[in-house]
Amino acid sequence: MERPAWAPPGIDISVPSVSRMYDYYLGGSHNFEVDREAARKVLEFMPGLPKAMQANRAFMRRVVNFAVGRGVTQFLDIGSGIPTFGNVHEVARNADPDACVVYVDHDPVAVAHGQAVLGDDPKATVLAADLRRPQQILESPEVAEVLDLNQPVALLLLAVLHFVDDEEDPYKAVRQLRDALPSGSLIAVTHMSYDTVPVPREQAEGVVGVYRGTRSPLISRSREQIANFFEGYEMVEPGLVSMPQWRPDSPTEQEDPYAFAGFAGVGRKA
């Protein structure tokens, strides 16, 4: 298997990666044949899945603008994936040139590409770390250098919590992050759910089977289970809804059914 020049040394390009599959869904080029093959299998079960990814990106843009509009200009984006056009720092700085961003991912390709995109930007950086070890993130030199944790931070957990099994206690990780952030901070979550996927459950479970082969479980949670991630936060209107229904820029009636394949919400720490 030929290794592209941009691929960091030492990574296993024989195993699909969640972030590189996501890059493929969005039309990116930082993925390997093994990622494309797994992604194509997923699309056999859920052919409209890229629409859900696009809805997730659109929600991110609205959340970032919402945060800056409320004076929150620091962003901690965990599970950020491979940077694509219109990423968090670009959206945020369009609204406030002084916005600061720390991207966090455990995929070496995502981290390497993020570092290449950001260069020596003093107000944005990429950290190689894992959501399941929040203290590693919070105590990192990268966070200390770019973010002031005494001032409100927007914590972005977009399309990442559904890759953390209950046995690894994602709720505890989210609580630890919450407790480290000051009053006025925000949390934004998007999460896949069988409740809203526009295909029969058996068909959706085929997707789960493909992701199992990537060494990353795909966990569907109910609306109530997803709502529990907002413990300790005040929900921002309109609450926990499908992604296109959270403060849409335009009417959502024309949205593709796959755009509604998951829940999204924002909370504010009192």
Name the pTM for this structure: 0.94
CATH number (domain holding residue 152): 3.40.50.150
Residue 131 lies in a domain: yes
Q: Is residue 22 part of a domain?
A: no
Number of domains forming the structure of the chain? 1
Residue length, the chain?
270
pLDDT of res. 140: 98
Q: How many C-alpha atoms does 42 have within 13 Å on its Cβ side?
A: 24
Within-domain flag for 6: no
Beta strands in the chain (DSSP E): 74-78, 100-105, 124-128, 154-158, 186-191, 234-235, 241-242, 263-268
Task: Report whether pLDDT(99) > 70.
Answer: yes
Percentages helix, strand, coil for the chain (3-state, rounded to 5) are 45, 15, 45
Q: Measure the CA–CA gap between 196 and 235, rounded to whole angstroms.
A: 20
Q: Which domain holds residue 97?
A: 48-201+219-268
Report if residue 43 sits inside a domain. Answer: no
Instruction: Please indicate, yes or no, if residue 20 is contained in any of the structural domains.
Output: no
Helix (H, G, I), strand (E, B) or coil at 241: strand
Q: Is residue 130 part of a domain?
A: yes
Q: Do residues 228 and 259 make contact, with C-beta atoms less than 8 angstroms apart?
A: no
Q: Quick check: is 207 in a domain?
A: no
Average pLDDT, whole number, for the chain? 93
Among 87, 88, 82, 85, smallest CA distance to 67 is for 88
Beta-strand runs (E) in 63-165: 74-78, 100-105, 124-128, 154-158
Q: Which residue has the higher pLDDT, 5 or 73?
A: 73
Could you tell me the pLDDT band of residue 30, with boundaries at 50, 70 and 90?
A: confident
Q: Is the pLDDT confidence value at 66 over 80?
A: yes
User: Percent of the chain beyond pLDDT 90?
Assistant: 80
3-state secondary structure at position 89 = helix
Residue 56 resides in a domain: yes
pLDDT band at 153 (very low <50, low <70, confident <90, very high): very high
φ, ψ at 97 (rounded to 5°) = -60, -20
